[in-house]
Amino acid sequence: MPIELKGKISDIIFQNDENGYTIANLISDELGEVTVVGCMPSVRELDNIQVSGEWKTHDIYGRQFSVMSFTHMAIDSLDGIIAYLASGTIEGIGLKMAHKITDKFGIKAIEILETNPNRYLEIEGIGRKKLDKMISSHMEGRQLKSIITAFSPYGISPAYCMKIYKKYADKSIDMVMNNPYGLCKDVKGIGFKKADEIAKKLNAGLDSLERIEEGIKYLLQEAAYSGHTYMLMPQLVSKAKELLSIDEEEILSCLNQMAINGGITIEEVDIEQRIYLDSYNLAETRAASNLIKLAYMNELENQEKTIEQLELEEDIELSELQKKAVTMALENKMMILTGGPGTGKTTTLSFIIKSFEQMKRKIILCAPTGRAAKRMSQATLRPASTIHRLLEAVYSEEADGLIFQKDEDDPIAADVIIVDEVSMMDVMLLDSLLLAVSENTAVIFVGDKDQLPSVGAGRVLQDMLESNTIPSIELTEVFRQAKQSMIIVNAHKINKGELPITDQKNTDFFFMAKKTPSQIAELIVELVSDRLPKYYKLSSNNIQVLSPMRKSEAGVLNLNLLLQEALNPARQGKREHKAGNRTFRTGDRVMHIKNNYEKTWENLEENISGEGIFNGDLGYIDFIEPSEKKLYIQFDDGKRAEYDFTELDQIEHAFATTVHKSQGSEFDCVVMPVSAFPPMLMSRKILYTALTRAKKLAILVGDAKYLKAMISNVYEEKRNTALSDKLKLYKETGMLLEENNGATVPF
C-alpha cells in the first residue's frame, strides 16, 4: 500500500518545466525534513501538499520518498502566499509586488484574485493588461492543480495530467470524463491500454464504440511495430475479442463502420480480408504505384560505349556480372543491386557513380541511418546523407510529429538517387522517398537481401525482388582477394547453411569454445578489455560486442555492466551520474536510441553546428556537469551534443549492443556470444548479419552446438505485407494509383 505524507515544501532543488519532474524538500510534522522526488509540475516553495508513494534508497543521495501522486492543500500562512505570488507562477509578479499585494489584502490575497480580481487595480503598478496576464497565469496553474486533484483517484499520474492539460486546457476534466479513449489520438504517450485503464476506473462502458475503435487501432499499430502492414480478419477478430472481452458481432460491426468512416481499410484478396490502418495501406499502395511509374515510364539509351571508355580510363576490368549491373543502372530509370560481402558491390557502385559523373548527371547518395550513410560515403569517397535529411525532415507541432518538406510539390533536385542498405527501409520511409522523386530522376536501390529486415513495417527489399517487376541483379561471385578473408568466406558458408571454417591460424575469424553463458560473458570481457587490445593493437572503441538479445548473462544488458566495470570503472575524480539502475560515467561508450531531429549539436573541428541526432549514433560521454544536471556526448561522426539528465532515456550504454541495432554499421572487430537464445534470435540471418559487420576481425564465443543450431535455423518471422502483390498488379494491369481521388489510371 502507498504511504501518505503531509507537509510544506521548504525548498525546490530541481524542477523540469517540460515534464514536471521535481526534487524538493518537504517538512513533515511527523518526520521533519524529507526529500520527495517525482512528477509534481505545479508545486512551489511553501506549498502545502499531501503526497502518496514509497520510500526508496538512492545510491548517492540516500533515502528519498518517491511520489506516485500528490494533492495541494490550502496555503495557510502569509509567508506561503508571498512565496506563491513571487514564485514566477503568476506572470508579472516579483517579490516586491508580492509584498505590495499582501500589504493590501493580507491572507485573502489569492481569494480576492480569484473572486474579485478588479480590486488588484487599486495597487500601484498593476494596470488592466498586467492584471489580465496575472489572472490568466494564475488560473492556468489553478486549473492544472484541480486536474491533478480530480484525476489522482483514477490513477492518472501528474505527468499525464500535464500532457492532458496542454492539449485540452480548461476542458480537460470534461473531455476525459466524457471520452477517455480520446486520449489515444489526442495526447502523445497515452495509448489504448492506459486509456482503457483510466476508463475502467471511471466506470466507462466496455462496449462503447470509442473503446472498440481504439482497441482495433491499437492491435493494428502493434502489428505494425512487429513489421506487418496489415492483419488478416480472423487474427484481428481473435485478438480483439481477447483484448476487449466483447462479442465477435460487435467487433465486425465496428470494423465495417470504421471502414466507412475512415481510419482502416479492408481489402478483399482472393478469400482473404486484409485489415490496414489507412496510413499503412496508403503508403504501401502509393509506393507500389510510384515504383512502377518510375521504372517503366521512361526509356534510356544504350550506354555500352560509356562503360568501355571508363574501364580503359580507370584501368578496371569488371566481371561480366558487374558489367551487366552497370549497364542495367545506366539504361533503366530504376534498378536493384544486391550482393553479399566480397562480391564487388562497392566496386560496381563506384563505377556506376563515375559513369553518371562522366555523363554530367547530378547524383545524390543516401541511406536509412547516419552510420550507414557515413559508411557509404567512406566507400564511395562521395558525400552521403540520411534519407530523412535528404527529405528535409522537421518536427511539426501541428502534426505533433515528423514531416518531410520534400515531396511531390518540391521534389529532390537530382538526376540519380542511390539508396544504400535498402533492407533497413520500412514501407513508410520508402513511400516518403518516392513521393519526392520526380519523373526525370533515376533511382538505384542497393542492399544485401540476406540481412535482417527493417525494424518498421514492411519488407521492402524482399518484396521488390520477389515481385520481379523492377530490374534487378545479384552479384554472386566472391572475388579472389575477398577469398583471403575468412570473415567473407564464412559469411557465405553460413548463408548457404554450412558450418564455418574455424581451424585456420593467422586468420581474421575465430571460434572460441565456452559452455555456459557466464563463461562466455567472462571470456568476452577478457578479450575486449585485455587480449585483443594487446595482441591486435585495437582500442576498445574499435571493438564492438554484438549479442542477439538484451537479457540473459550473455545478453546486452549484462555484458554492458561487465564491460563498463572492466573498461571504464569508477574511480576518484571520474564524474558519474546514476539514473535508475544505470550509471553513466565519463568515458562510457553510448548509443543514441531515438531519432531526435531537434537535438542541437556542434562540430568543433569543422566549426559547424546543426540539429539532429539519430537512432544508432555511437559516441562516448566526454563530460558530466552534476551541478547543471547535464552531460555531453562526443559522437563518432564529430558531433558533440548536450543532454539534460531528464533526456537520458534517449541514450544507452553501447560497449555491447544488439545485432539489430548494428545494421548499416561496420566495426574493425566484432565479438559475439553464441549461446542458448530464444529460437527467433538463434537464426542464420542474425548470425550472418553480425558477422558481416566485421571489417578486420570476427570472434564468436560460445558452444559449437548452438552455432550449428543457428546455422540450421532459417527462421524468419513471416510479415504480412502486400507490396509485392501490388507491384505485380500495377505492372500486369498497366494501371496506377491517382493521388487526387484514389482511383487508378493507365500509364
Q: Which residues are annotated as a binding site for ATP?
A: 342-346
Q: Give the burial class of 510: count Cβ atoms within 10 A of its Cβ; 0-12 exposed, 13-18 middle, 19 or more buried.
A: middle
**Residue 11: CB atoms within 10 Å:** 13
Report how far residue 643's alpha carbon sits from residue 629's, in angstroms, rounded to the nearest whole number.
Answer: 9
Any long-range contacts for 50-55 (C-beta under 8 Å, 24+ apart)?
50/4, 50/5, 50/6, 51/4, 51/5, 51/6, 51/26, 52/2, 52/3, 52/4, 53/2, 53/3, 54/2, 54/3, 55/3
DSSP sequence for 432-490: HHHHT--TT-EEEEEE-TTS---SSS--HHHHHHHHT-S-EEEE-PPPTTGGG-HHHHH
DSSP H helical ranges for 203-333 = 209-225, 233-244, 248-261, 278-296, 304-314, 320-331
**Residue 665: CB atoms within 10 Å:** 21
Binding residues: 342-346
Give the Å distances, CA to CA, from 272 to 71, 231, 256, 266, 288: 53, 10, 16, 10, 20
Report how far residue 30's alpha carbon sits from residue 46's, in angstroms, rounded to the nearest whole number.
Answer: 17
Classify 622 as helix, strand or coil: strand
Report how far residue 281's alpha carbon sits from residue 360's, in angstroms, rounded to the nearest whole number.
Answer: 38
Do residues 547 and 556 make contact, with C-beta atoms less than 8 angstroms apart? yes
Q: Which amino acid is at 41?
A: P
Residue 339 phi/psi, 5-degree rounding, is 165, 150
Report how far residue 562's alpha carbon sits from residue 550's, in angstroms, rounded to the nearest whole number.
Answer: 14
- Cell numbers for 607: 566549426
- Cell numbers for 598: 531537434
Residue 224 phi/psi, 5-degree rounding, is -65, -40
Strands 442-447 and 416-419: parallel
Classify 212 as helix, strand or coil: helix
Report how far residue 240's alpha carbon sits from residue 76's, in angstroms, rounded to the nearest whole number.
Answer: 52
**Residue 524: CB atoms within 10 Å:** 27
- Cell numbers for 132: 489580465
Strands 618-625 and 62-73: unpaired
- Cell numbers for 507: 586468420
**Residue 506: CB atoms within 10 Å:** 4
DSSP sequence for 565-612: HHHS---TT--EEEETTEEEETT-EEEE-S-EEEEEEEETTTTEEEEE
Report how far residue 149's alpha carbon sits from residue 41's, in angstroms, rounded to the nearest whole number.
Answer: 13
DSSP sequence for 415-447: SEEEE--GGG--HHHHHHHHHT--TT-EEEEEE
